[in-house]
Structure 1
Amino acid sequence: MTDSLTVDELDRQLLQALQIDGRAPFSAIAEVTGVSAHTVARRYHRMRASAGLRVVGRGAATRSRWMLRIRCAPDAAGTVAAGIARRADTSFVALTSGTSELLLVLDAVDEESAAVLLDRLARTPTIVSVTAQQLLRTVHGGPDGWFAKCGALTTEQVTALRLASSARTVPARTVPARDDVDRLLLRELGRDGRAGYPVLGASVQLSEASVRRRLARLQASGAVYFDLQFDAGRLGYHMVALLWLTVVPPALEATGAELARHPEVAFVAATTGGANLVAAVICCDADALYSYLTRRVAALHAVTQVETATVLRQIKQLR
């Protein structure tokens, strides 16, 4: 059933709309796409049932984030990756083209908890080496998901969706401190970002109106955002790669911003270590990745070195 699904232009429009506003009513998406709300709902549920489409609520990153490269003994990488993926403090886990190397992003509570995990990994017999880089600043990613770049919607349609989204939130100047109710709400949204207000209210034992106000406040302040999970291969993009770029320091910020504008780029962050930028890119195939490296990346004159690793299997999605 999964293999028989064909993604057409309306599906692409729906994916882009959900990346822009994961909780947009089907009626709002229908208005900008020119079809009925019933058609939008049917397409959404079809992709959810047959292709694993998910809208997921995420809490804004407030922790110490690290990217780890772990080299394992032969045939051990898959087992190690599965164990790490089960940890609540990992947000990305993938096996790379080296087959014995895995990459992960650790969302640590603080530097001390990161150090504890690093020490534990270093003492694991099947792990040969661990390299850790702290992510200093995320330039692109999180709320700015890759599906927002797919170009299925016009500029006018995107503007209309963003205006409708902002009208459903309330102004907020600061990120509110999360309480126990917020954490329970985020946990429920992590299971289904489009869960209805009655379901959310029951999960945190609040009225529908109270949950609606609380979620609007969290969204407006940036304390919560909605991410989209969908196999980009169904859109014809079968190659995912991580790039580590060494950039001359005066041009670091400008180069990161330029990378963020590339349609291929899903994630960019400034990092510690020998390379000071890391990026995740999504391309159609190996030839398209080669063209991206030799044209788009090669045109970034402040980049002095690039290391590339393709992803064989992604176990947790980068955000």
Structure 2
Amino acid sequence: MLDGMERGLLQTLQIAGRVAFSLVGEVLGVSDRTIARRYARLRAESGVRVSGVVWPEAVGRQLWRVRVRVRCVPEAAVGPSMDGRVGFRSLSAATGWSEATVRRRLAELRASGVVYFDVDFDPVLLGLRASAALWLSVAPGESAAAGRALAETRR
């Protein structure tokens, strides 16, 4: 279960995945180093991940969602992933671009809606026992009928 500071950090990351830890620390009344340590612990012990994701529709593609989670190999055995909190220096090394170019390009992609940041975490961290999501595509004139159909659905 998360304490108040960790809940605040998780909530902040859900709003702005690449927010500076110094700003989070200022808002929560602790140092940026404390926030960085807590984030590192949440990553290592609880599987919290911030990922930069391309919004498919922004680049002319269709949106399909499939989420499969399998944990069978420790991350240390395969190396760390490059999640959404990786530093600009690491992104620069991975892309071969300068840090300034990486910063500018990421800002452009975020501003245009092509990239967003997603925070993946176990709902148990917030005391939740289950997590469910339902996406529907319903014509505007059919929303009442869709609502009735859902309400009539048995467990």
> TM range, normalised to the smaller chain?
0.7 to 0.9
| 1:194 matched to 2:85 | yes
Q: Deviations over 1:176-233 (max 9, x none)?
A: xxxxxxxxxxxxxx83101111110111111111111111111111110100011011
Cα gap change, 1:249 to 1:44, in 2 (>3 Å): same
SS at match of 1:206: coil
Partner Cα distance (1:46, 1:308) in 2: 41
State the distance in 2 between where 1:30 and 1:201 align: 26
CA shift, 1:65, in A, is: 3.2
Structure with greater proportional helix content? 2
Q: CA RMSD of the aligned region, Å?
A: 2.8
SS at match of 2:42: helix
Match of 1:40 in 2: 35
Aligned residues: 139
Distance 1:45 1:61 in 2: 29
- Measured after TM superposition, the shift of residue 235 of structure 1 is 1.1
What SS class does the counterpart of residue 23 from structure 1 fall into?
A: coil
Structure number with bigger Rg? 1
Relative to its length, the structure with more strand (as a share) is 1
Aligned-partner Cα distance in 1 for 2:110–2:35: 24
Match of 1:27 among 19, 22, 26: 22
Checking the alignment, whether the CA contact within 8 Å between 2:123 and 2:131 is kept in structure 1 is no
The answer as to 2:67 corresponding to 1:92 is yes
Match of 1:208 among 99, 111, 114: 99
Mapped partners of 1:224, 1:53: distance in 2: 19
- Measured after TM superposition, the shift of residue 64 of structure 1 is 2.1
- What amino acid sits opposite 2:149 in the alignment? Q
Q: 1:17 is matched with which residue?
A: 12
SS at match of 1:91: coil
Deviation at 1:46? Answer: 0.9
Give the TM-score, by structure 2 length: 0.77
Whichever residue aligns with residue 114 of structure 2, its letter is A
Give the Cα–Cα distance (whole angstroms) in 2 for the partners of residues 32 and 246 of structure 1: 38
Paired amino acid for 1:304: R
Give deviations 1:27-61, integer Å, cap 9, x for gaps.
01111111111111111111111111110110012
**TM-score between the two structures when normalised by the length of structure 1:** 0.39
CA 1:36–1:308 in structure 2 vs 1: closer, same or farther (change >3 Å)?
A: farther
Q: Give the letter aligned to residue 192 of structure 1.
A: D
> SS at 1:227's partner residue?
strand
C-alpha displacement at 1:250, in angstroms? 3.2
Q: Runs of 4 or more off by more than 4 Å in structure 1?
A: 242-249
Matches within 5 A, 1:230-241: 230-241=121-132
The letter for the 1-side match of 2:62 is S
The aligned counterpart of 1:55 is: 50
What's the offset of the Cα at 1:241?
A: 3.3
The question of whether the paired residues in 1 share the 8 Å contact of 2:25 and 2:31 is answered with yes
* Aligned match of 2:114: 223
CA distance in 2, matches of 1:53, 1:198: 22
- Matched letter for residue 54 of structure 2: G
Q: Which of 5, 8, 24 matches 2:3?
A: 8
Correspondence list, 1:119-130, <5 A: none
| Deviations, residues 156-175 of structure 1 (Å, cap 9, x unaligned) | xxxxxxxxxxxxxxxxxxxx
| Residue aligning to 2:75 | none
Unaligned runs of 5+ in 1: 1-5, 67-89, 95-189, 256-274, 277-302, 310-319
Q: Which residue of 2 aligns with 1:64?
A: 62
- Note the C-alpha offset of 1:7: 1.1
| CA distance in structure 2 between the partners assigned to 1:203 and 1:247 by the alignment | 41
Equivalent pair of 2:51/2:118 in contact (CA under 8 Å)? yes
Residue 244 to residue 193, structure 1, CA distance change in 2 (3 Å)? closer
Contact 2:2 2:126 in 1 (8 A): yes
Identity %: 47
